[in-house]
Structures are given as structure tokens and as C-alpha cells.
Structure 1
Amino acid sequence: MAAPNAITAQQLLRLVGTPKAPTIVDIRLDEDLASDPHLIPGSVRLPHTDLDALHERVGGQPCVIVCQKGRKLSQGLASWLRGDGHEAEFLDGGMFAWRDLAGAPSVAAGAIPKPVGDHTLWVTRHRPKIDRIACPWLIRRFVDPGARFLFVAPAEVESVAERFGAVPFDVENTFWSHRGDACTFDAMLDEFHLRTEALNRLATVVRGADTNRHDLAPEAAGLLAISVGLSRQYRDDHQQLQAGMDIYDAYYRWARDGFDEGHDWPADRKS
């Protein structure tokens, strides 16, 4: 019988990438991470001995503690946190169970930029439309939930990146940018090893909207219309990003488990 404070890999998979995802804390030993340098999307690395940092990071949010096998480290720490009043669970089977679950994505730990403070810091051109909203959504939902984004004039992106230690993205002649016919969202899926069926489906829509190739997916024209509307509705880029998070949350759920649903008004209906 599963422990009452355990969550299975399958249950966690349903939450990852959504606004309801718990705070995932990876407490694997360094040698365990070195043997498998991948993270559950959205997780943060902390040592199991740093209780102050754990309390601060978890705050009042539900959390899932992950170790290599789901045994002494994660079970002990989850119980400790529950004793302190936190809603904590441990991943049953640990990273081994996640790794063996079909369709479970894992982020390449080495691809995540070094944080500035507690979280990664990114910079791009102001007045975002598609890629510059889609990429922050991807990062916050699958890479670093607390990631910060700076929107500045195009001519200032490079200087701001140097001054603040931020990572430039969706800018020409930078690492995180368009590559051939693919857009920056595609580049991030490749580098972070996040190529899943659902994210690939969403990427096709983003690519079609961002490169004006609506033949790639019928939903691309709709995403372009929504993106243009958002950019005209908000003067503040950060407010636009926040609104855009909800839009991409909906697109992701469509791409994950709603893409085959249609809607029609029967022709023989009288009212």
C-alpha cells in the first residue's frame, strides 16, 4: 500500500507544466545527479540538510520531494516538512520511477543557465508578440518557475545582458534564437530536451504563428490574432506576459489532451 504522503510519477506527470504543479524539490545527492543529469521539469535543486532554504522555497505551497529511489531522503524530509505544517509529499520510486515512466519529460540540467540570485534571468526585446511570450511560458512552466524576464529596447538587449548577467533570447545572433525555419521556442525544446508529443504539437502552432506559416497548423492563425490583440491591450510588457501565461496554459492543455476534440452546431437543430 502506498504511503499517505506519497505521489506517483503518473500523478505528478498530470500536474507538471500546469498552473497546479507543486513545488518540486530535487534533493538527490550530487553523485546521483551526475549519473543522470536530468531534472523533473520545474524542479529546484536543494540539499536535504538546508532546512532554512527548503522552508523559504516551499513557502505555503504544496511540494513534492524527490530523491533517487524515493526512500530515506525524500520520505524523511517530506515527513519533516509535514511536521512543520507544510503540504509535502515524496515521489514514490523517486527519479528512477520518473525516468521509467513513458512520456515523462526531463530537463537537461546542464542546459539551464546559471541563476542571478535565486532564479534565472532573461532579457529580450520589448513589445512581445509570440515567441517572446511562448518562451517565458515554457521556462516558467518547465524549467524555472521563478524565472525573471526583462523587456527592453532592441538596441539595449546586449548591454542589459552584460550589465545584469541576463540571458538574451529571441534576438538575432544569440544562442537562444531562431535556427533556420525553427523559432526560439523550438530551440528551447531542443536544448532543454523537452521534446514531448504535447509540446511538439504546441511548437508547431507557435512556429506557424511566429513565422507567418499558417499552413503548418490551423490554430496558428488564432494564436497570431490573440497575440496581436494582447500586445494592443497591454502597454506594460509584464502585464501582457502574465495574461499570456493563461493563454499558453490553455493551449498546452489543448495540445496535451484536447487536440482531437471538435465542436459543431448541428444543422438539424431548430433552436
Structure 2
Amino acid sequence: MPSNTEITTSQLSRLIGQPSAPIIVDVRLPEDVAADPRTLPGAAPRDHSTVSLWAPELTGKSVVVVCQKGLKLSQGAAAWLRHEGVPAETLEGGFEAWRNAGGLLVDTKNLPKRDERGRTVWVTRARPKVDRIACPWLIRRFVDPSAVFLFVAAGEVMSVADRFAATPFDIEGVFWSHRGTRCTFDTMIDEFGLKSEALERLALIVRAADTARLDLSPQASGLLAASLGLSRMFRDDLEQLDAGLLLYDAFYRWSRDAVEETHNWPSPSKA
């Protein structure tokens, strides 16, 4: 049974992917990371020995600290965070327990280099509709909660990528883009190793809505209609992104928890 400063793998797995998920801090030693460089979804790598320096950045946030086995490194870092007023827990059993339980892990081999503030920076075409909202949602919820997204004129994406050290996505001829009949959202799920039934179900909806194959999923028409509606509601792409994140949060929770639920209001039978 975990202590009152620990969270179990099953408890944390229910929070992953939600906007209210805690910040996950990975304080594993370099040799442990080298042995398995994958991370928990959204985890930020930190050096346990400098916790006093980065603790203030987490003020006002809920935190789960992860080390290899859930022992001295994570417990010490979490205790220091609590000293700084940050509500922090450790993952019971650490990274090994999460991995052994089959928890979702992010493959980091193609993760873009982080900037000086620890954020990945991405750039794509302005006026997003489906894929260019779905991909930022996936990144923010499962890869890098602090990721920066730049929306620019289509002809300037590669130049901006070069000048601002940003990673281009959802344009032709780049790594993070459509592959065959599959869209960029599919590519990101594949490359980051984010294989789960809920995400695969959501990916089919996104693919159907983004590639004019609405017959693939009965939910795709609704996603497309809502996406096009949002694109008309907001002139600012970042405001549209913020609104769109909630839309994908809802579709993800349906994909994970509510696919079997139906809703009906039958007319009362006549005597």
C-alpha cells in the first residue's frame, strides 16, 4: 500500500492524457536512462542534485517525481519540492514498476531538441483545421506539456524552422508529416510509441476527418464539423488551439472510457 506521498501506477495511468494531469519529473540517473531512454508520458528530465534550483519553476503545480525504483532519488526530490510548497508525490516502484505494468511510454529517439527553457518548439502552417490541432494536443498531453507551437504562412514554415530552431510538422517533405494514407497524427503516435487502444481509436477518427474519408469512422463527421466551426470562430491560431485542445480532450475521454455508452430518450409508450 502506498504512503500518503506516493501514487500507484494504476492511479497515475488514469490521469495521463488529461488536462489536469500532474507534471511528471524524471530524475533517473544517466545510466538508467541510457539503458531505457523511454519516458513516462509528458515527463520532464531533471537532475536530482539541482532540485533546489528548479523547484521554484513548479510552484502552484501538482507533481509526480519518478526515479528508477521509486526510492531515494524520487523521494528526496519530492521531499524537497514539498519543502518549497509544491505538492509532490513519488511513483510507487518508480520507472520499473510503470514499465512492468505495461504503462504507456514515450520513445524519445526522435524527440526534437529542447530549447534553453526545456521546451520542444514546433512550427506549421497557419489556420489549422484537424491534423494541426490534433498533433499539438497529442504533444501537449503525452510528450511535452510545455511545447511551443508556431503558426506561420505556409511558404515560411521551413525558413522559420531554420531561424528559430523549430521542428516543422504537417507539411510536405518533412519527417513529421503524412505517410501514405495515414496523417501526421498517426506518424506521431507511431514514432513516439504511443500505442494504446484509446489513441488508436482516436487516430482513426482524426485520419477520417483529415483525409476526407468520413466513412472510416462515424465520429469523424462530428470532429470535422466542430473543427471547421472553431476555425471560423477564432482569428488567432493560438486561441483556436486552446479551444481545440478541449475538443480533443473530450474525444479522447470518449475513446478511452465511453465507447460503450449510448444515449436515448424514447417517447413514452401510449396506453
TM-score (norm 2): 0.97
Secondary structure of the 1:50 match is helix
Which runs of 5 or more structure 1 residues have no equivalent in the other structure?
A: none
- Match for residue 220 of structure 2? 220
What amino acid does structure 2 have at the position aligned with 1:67?
A: C
Contact 1:205–1:216 (Cα < 8 Å) also in 2? yes
- Match for residue 25 of structure 2? 25
- Match for residue 112 of structure 1? 111
Which residues in structure 2 correspond to 1:117-266 (within 5 Å)? 117-118=116-117, 119-266=119-266
**Offset of residue 142 of structure 1:** 0.4
Give aligned-pair identity as a percent: 57
What's the CA shift string for 1:78-136, capped at 9, x where partnerless?
1222122210100000001100113x210012221001222011000000000000000
Moved more, 246-255 or 260-269: 260-269
- Match for residue 101 of structure 1? 101
Instruction: Give the whole-Å Cα distance in 2 for the aligned partners of 1:115 and 1:252.
Output: 27
**Offset of residue 53 of structure 1:** 4.0
**Offset of residue 210 of structure 1:** 0.1
Residues 269 and 125 (structure 1 numbering): CA distance in 2 closer, same or farther, change over 3 Å? farther
**Offset of residue 71 of structure 1:** 0.8
1:38 lines up with 2:38 in the alignment? yes
Residues 269 and 252 (structure 1 numbering): CA distance in 2 closer, same or farther, change over 3 Å? farther
What amino acid does structure 2 have at the position aligned with 1:16?
A: I
What's the CA shift string for 1:15-49, capped at 9, x where partnerless?
11101110100000000011111100001000101
Instruction: Give the whole-Å Cα distance in 2 for the aligned partners of 1:53 and 1:175.
Output: 35
Instruction: Give the whole-Å Cα distance in 2 for the aligned partners of 1:130 and 1:56.
Output: 36
What amino acid does structure 2 have at the position aligned with 1:113?
A: P
Moved more, 28-37 or 258-267: 258-267
What amino acid does structure 2 have at the position aligned with 1:97?
A: A
Instruction: Give the whole-Å Cα distance in 2 for the aligned partners of 1:192 and 1:262.
Output: 32
Instruction: Give the whole-Å Cα distance in 1 for the aligned partners of 2:168 and 2:187.
Output: 13
What amino acid does structure 2 have at the position aligned with 1:217?
A: S
**Offset of residue 269 of structure 1:** 5.5
- CA-based RMSD of the aligned residues comes to 1.1
**Offset of residue 52 of structure 1:** 3.8
- Match for residue 48 of structure 1? 48
Contact 1:116–1:166 (Cα < 8 Å) also in 2? no
What amino acid does structure 1 have at the position aligned with 2:46?
A: L
Secondary structure of the 1:215 match is helix
Instruction: Give the whole-Å Cα distance in 2 for the aligned partners of 1:218 and 1:188.
Output: 23
What amino acid does structure 1 have at the position aligned with 2:114?
A: P
- Match for residue 12 of structure 2? 12
Contact 1:124–1:171 (Cα < 8 Å) also in 2? yes
**Offset of residue 2 of structure 1:** 2.1
What's the CA shift string for 1:230-256, capped at 9, x where partnerless?
000000000000000110111110011
**Offset of residue 267 of structure 1:** 3.3
Secondary structure of the 2:86 match is coil
What amino acid does structure 2 have at the position aligned with 1:117?
A: E
Instruction: Give the whole-Å Cα distance in 2 for the aligned partners of 1:131 and 1:34.
Output: 33
